[in-house]
Amino acid sequence: MMEIKKVDVKDWETLQKISEKTFAETFGKDNDSEELSTYLANAYNKEQLINELSNSNSEFYFIYFESQVAGYIKLNIGSAQTEKIADHALEIERIYIDSDFKRKGLGKKLYEWANERAKEQSKESIWLGVWEKNPSAIAFYESLGFKKVGQHTFHFGNEEQIDYIMEKNFTR
């Protein structure tokens, strides 16, 4: 059974664990281990996560599979967006599934959840950044109707990497 629940500030430690695990699983093999450690320490420390969880323009949701946290999504609007795309847009900043739960449709379920949240908030589009060297993620988003509309710099530890900005418009 699948269930999606909003993450509360008191859940920061669970969020930290799933964030570090899924990020390392996704990007660890293709990146320098020191840069990975630096990134994880900066992006997922207690203070950073509590700040993000406390931002009224951001929402985190856990997805549960058979009562276990299997992944999460972070949505941003307004000033919380990592790029100023548009006020009428919703950003998926993070969407990760634990490797133990992949191939069960959970990523698609989280995406559908984000889609509904965007429509509930009268957003005209949904967008995200995806690493240029992650072809499976790019293909997944293209299969959902996303198009590449630009790129931005992603700071990974002390390195700069390129993320494609992909957007799906609801009005076109």
Q: Is the pLDDT of residue 169 over 80?
A: yes
Q: Confirm whether 36 is domain-assigned.
A: yes
Q: Confirm whether 138 is domain-assigned.
A: no
CATH number of the domain encompassing residue 115: 3.40.630.30
Read off the pLDDT band of 155 (50, 70, 90).
Answer: confident
What value does the mean pLDDT take over residues 109-129?
94
- pTM for the structure as a whole: 0.92
Q: Confirm whether 148 is domain-assigned.
A: no
Q: Confirm whether 72 is domain-assigned.
A: yes
| Domains of the chain: total | 1
What value does the mean pLDDT take over residues 117-131?
94
Token digits of residue 82: 């990592």
Read off the pLDDT band of 172 (50, 70, 90).
Answer: low
In whole angstroms, give the CA distance from residue 60 to residue 94.
9
In the 3-class helix/strand/coil scheme, how is 53-81 assigned residue by residue? HHCCCEEEEEEEECCEEEEEEEEECHHHC
Q: Is the pLDDT of residue 46 over 60?
A: yes
Which residue range forms the structural domain that includes residue 45?
A: 2-127
Q: Confirm whether 150 is domain-assigned.
A: no
What pLDDT was estimated at residue 107? 92
Lowest-confidence region among 6-15, 23-32, 92-101, 134-143: 23-32
Q: Confirm whether 172 is domain-assigned.
A: no
- Catalytic status, residue 141: yes
- pLDDT tens per residue, range 5-42: 999 999 999 999 999 999 999 888 888 899 889 999 99
What value does the mean pLDDT take over residues 130-145?
93
What pLDDT was estimated at residue 159? 84
Q: Choosing from 39, 44, 141, 164, which is the catalytic residue?
A: 141
What pLDDT was estimated at residue 156? 84
Q: Confirm whether 99 is domain-assigned.
A: yes
Q: Is the pLDDT of residue 51 over 70?
A: yes
Read off the pLDDT band of 82 (50, 70, 90).
Answer: confident
Mean pLDDT over the full length of the chain = 93
Q: Confirm whether 161 is domain-assigned.
A: no
What pLDDT was estimated at residue 32? 85
CA angle 135, 30, 107 (to 5 degrees): 45
Beta bridge partners of 75: 59, 92
Q: Is 157 left (phi over 0), alpha (psi -120 to 50) or beta?
A: left
